[in-house]
């Protein structure tokens, strides 16, 4: 640790700042999983990863398409004749076929109610890279962006860390389903002004991570009027646009813009509106790092394109995606089958929770639920939320994410991801929750509905100590004992 600190004095402020957010509980849960990952046969008592918003439910459909279309890759015998061309391509506008296919896909993901112009598509390394480039275009260090809470924890990293902007919370509460109100918007804006922060914009994730809800048309109109009144930018992260599995339908800001642009009563300036998109969620391809910035502002498109040199999508990936996304029939089937599978998984998971009297915020989108465990807190405090969270990781062995890491103002909410695992693992997670809420019979785990675990699970023993946690086993590197196994981990050393 001492050596690392000495070495850090040679580095930049950005490199050594803690604005990355890695010290938040969100990452601590991942460390716990990394140390003891669940595996059905090799580590059946390990931690199940429910903190990862990844969609693994429909990758088989993409695999089948690849098997039928070997020419789509330049690294196969069938596709190698395009290898030289594509491997040499490096224009930061991107392959036209790719931009065209992505623009079409963005339209399909929004029910074809709106179209997108390939000339406005700017590439980024995932939504992460695309959103950082956008912030670099819109603001200077110290400027502020309003963000409704609870929000995706990595916004602190993606939007704030290297750009030096500040995120100003808009407080949303459970009493109205965490909806953004005009009053909350105005109050956050006033707070920023009172703190001498120059507000450059408003950033929302719609559908929301972590809530799994979509914004209604009226709310979107309120946001649009608000940013026009204040003459600030509106950034809509629509990364879950097609990850919708229930009514109401998703409404994109692009639809609202289209509507309001032609409304003389409500004039809006399209140049203030920017959309962040990615294929990480809707296609389940986070490893491909396909991020898109779509801006209605020509100057932003032009400067962001120059910045995109730092996070381009490889031409091999562009080429492959241009092929698969141009297959209209495949895309339509993929989107509807993916929604169907998500709906089924969501139902199994939420019904399993309901059997234990655990409710979630009603949701229609995303890869997670916003689980309400407020009644399990001894007191409604964030300290008690941490106590419960540690118990869930250490004893129940589920890595869920506490609401505090999403800047939620009410203690007791947890985000639980449900699409990054197979059916059997979901059942095991539900059985562990069942045991946790006190229905286990003696030492033997009796599963829900008297179903039996598969043989590899029969050794699972859950015991919940009345002692809630032990100082020596805390997960956080900030408060961890030097003797903890985590202290030896190069991963943690590199991060502290
Ligand atoms: C709301 C939101 N924005 C951005 C991202 C980052 O996505 P990407 O993998 O495309 O960088 C995520 C990932 O979880 C997200 O949930």
Tell whether ligand 1 has an atom less than 6 A from the beta carbon of residue 205. yes
The CB of 128 under 6 Å from ligand 1? The reply is: yes
CA distances from 444 to 90, 269, 439, 441, 463 (A): 60, 64, 11, 6, 10
Q: Would the CB of 127 count as within 6 Å of ligand 1? A: yes
Kindly report, residue by residue over 449-492, the tens digit of the pLDDT.
Answer: 545 344 334 333 333 333 232 222 333 332 233 333 223 233 22
Q: What is the residue-level pLDDT of the chain in tens, covering all 496 positions? A: 556 666 667 898 888 887 777 766 567 778 888 999 999 999 999 999 999 999 999 999 999 999 999 999 999 899 899 999 888 888 888 899 999 999 999 999 999 999 999 999 999 999 999 999 999 999 999 999 999 999 999 899 899 999 999 999 999 999 999 999 999 999 999 999 999 999 999 999 999 999 999 999 999 999 999 999 999 999 999 999 999 999 999 999 999 999 898 888 878 999 999 999 999 999 999 999 999 999 999 999 999 999 998 999 999 999 999 999 999 999 999 999 999 999 999 999 999 999 999 999 999 999 999 999 999 999 999 999 999 999 999 999 999 999 999 999 999 999 999 999 999 999 999 999 999 887 434 444 455 554 534 433 433 333 333 323 222 233 333 223 333 322 323 322 222 2
Among 53, 55, 152, 235, say which to mutate for ligand 1: greatest number of ligand atoms within 8 Å of CB. Answer: 152
Cβ partners under 8 Å of residue 293, min gap 6: 121, 122, 123, 124, 130, 131, 133, 134, 274, 275, 276, 277, 300, 304, 308
Nearest CA to ligand 1 atom 16: 209
Tell the CATH topology of 24-54+336-476: 3.90.1150
One CATH from 3.40.640.10, 2.60.40.650, 1.20.1730.10, 3.10.180.10 for 71-326: 3.40.640.10
Q: Is 213 in the pocket of ligand 1 (CB under 6 A)?
A: no
Residue 194 CA, ligand 1 centroid: distance in Å:
31
pLDDT for position 312: 92
**Residue spans of alpha helices (H) in 292-367:** 298-307, 315-325, 328-355
pLDDT digits (tens, 9 = 90+) for 107-124: 999 999 999 999 999 999
CATH 3.90.1150.10-classified regions of the chain: 24-54+336-476
291 close to ligand 1 (CB < 6 Angstrom): yes
Distance between Cα 239 and ligand 1 center (Å): 7
Q: In what order do the strands lie in the sheet with 290-295?
A: 121-125, 290-295, 273-278, 233-237, 199-205, 144-148, 166-170
Q: For a substitution probing ligand 1, which of 26, 128, 148 has the most ligand atoms within 8 Å of its CB?
A: 128
Longest dimension (CA), the chain: 69
Contact 267, 228 (CB under 8 A): yes
Question: Residue 32's pLDDT is what?
Answer: 86
Report the catalytic residues: 152, 237, 239, 281
Ligand 1 binding pocket includes 417 (Cβ within 6 Å) = no
pLDDT number for residue 202: 98
Q: Is the CB of 280 under 6 A from ligand 1?
A: yes
| Residue 91 burial (CB count, 10 A) | 9
How many other CB atoms sit within 10 Å of the CB of residue 175?
A: 8
Mutational pocket test of ligand 1: of 239, 283, 420, the residue with most ligand atoms within 8 Å of the beta carbon: 239
Asked whether 127 and 233 are in contact (CB, 8 A), the reply is: no
């Amino acid at each position: 640790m001492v050596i690392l600190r000495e070495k850090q004095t040679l580095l930049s402020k950005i490199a050594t700042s803690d604005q990355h957010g890695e010290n938040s509980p969100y990452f601590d849960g991942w460390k716990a999983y990394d140390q003891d990952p669940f595996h059905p046969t090799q580590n059946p008592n390990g931690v199940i990863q429910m903190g990862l918003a990844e969609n693994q439910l429909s990758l088989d459909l993409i695999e089948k398409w690849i098997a039928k279309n070997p020419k789509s890759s330049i690294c196969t015998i069938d596709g190698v004749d395009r290898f030289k061309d594509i491997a040499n391509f490096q224009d930061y506008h991107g392959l036209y076929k790719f931009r065209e296919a992505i623009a079409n896909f963005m339209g399909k993901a929004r029910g074809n109610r709106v179209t997108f112009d390939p000339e406005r598509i700017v590439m980024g390394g995932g939504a992460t890279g695309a959103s950082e480039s956008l912030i670099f275009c819109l603001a200077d260090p110290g400027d502020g962006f309003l963000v409704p809470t609870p929000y995706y924890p990595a916004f602190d990293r993606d939007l704030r860390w290297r750009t030096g902007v500040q995120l100003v919370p808009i407080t949303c509460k459970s009493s109205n389903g965490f909806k953004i109100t005009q009053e909350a918007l105005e109050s956050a804006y006033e707070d920023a002004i009172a703190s001498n922060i120059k507000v450059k914009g408003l950033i929302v994730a719609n559908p929301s991570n972590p809530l799994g809800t979509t914004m209604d048309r009226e709310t979107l109109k309120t946001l649009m009027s608000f940013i026009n009144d204040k003459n600030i930018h509106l950034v809509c992260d629509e990364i879950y646009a097609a990850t919708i599995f229930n009514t109401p339908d998703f409404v994109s800001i692009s639809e609202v813009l289209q509507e309001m642009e032609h409304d003389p009563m409500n004039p809006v300036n399209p140049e203030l509106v920017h959309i962040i998109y990615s294929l990480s969620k809707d296609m389940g391809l986070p490893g491909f790092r396909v991020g898109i910035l779509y801006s209605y502002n020509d100057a932003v498109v032009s400067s962001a394109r120059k910045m995109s040199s730092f996070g381009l999508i490889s031409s091999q990936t562009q080429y492959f995606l241009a092929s698969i996304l141009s297959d209209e029939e495949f895309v339509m089937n993929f989107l509807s089958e993916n929604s169907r599978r998500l709906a089924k998984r969501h139902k199994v998971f939420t019904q399993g929770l309901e059997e234990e009297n655990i409710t979630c915020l009603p949701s229609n989108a995303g890869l997670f639920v916003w689980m309400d465990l407020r009644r399990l807190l001894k007191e409604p405090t964030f300290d008690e939320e941490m106590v419960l969270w540690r118990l869930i990781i250490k004893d129940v062995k589920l890595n869920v994410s506490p609401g505090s890491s999403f800047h939620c103002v009410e203690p007791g909410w947890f985000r639980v991801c449900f699409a990054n695992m197979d059916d059997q693992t979901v059942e095991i997670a539900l059985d562990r929750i069942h045991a946790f809420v006190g229905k286990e019979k003696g030492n033997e785990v009796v599963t829900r509905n008297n179903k039996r675990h598969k043989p590899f699970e029969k050794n699972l023993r859950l015991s919940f100590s009345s002692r809630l946690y032990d100082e020596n086993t805390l997960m956080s590197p900030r408060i961890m004992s030097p003797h903890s196994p985590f202290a030896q981990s190069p991963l943690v050393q590199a991060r502290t």
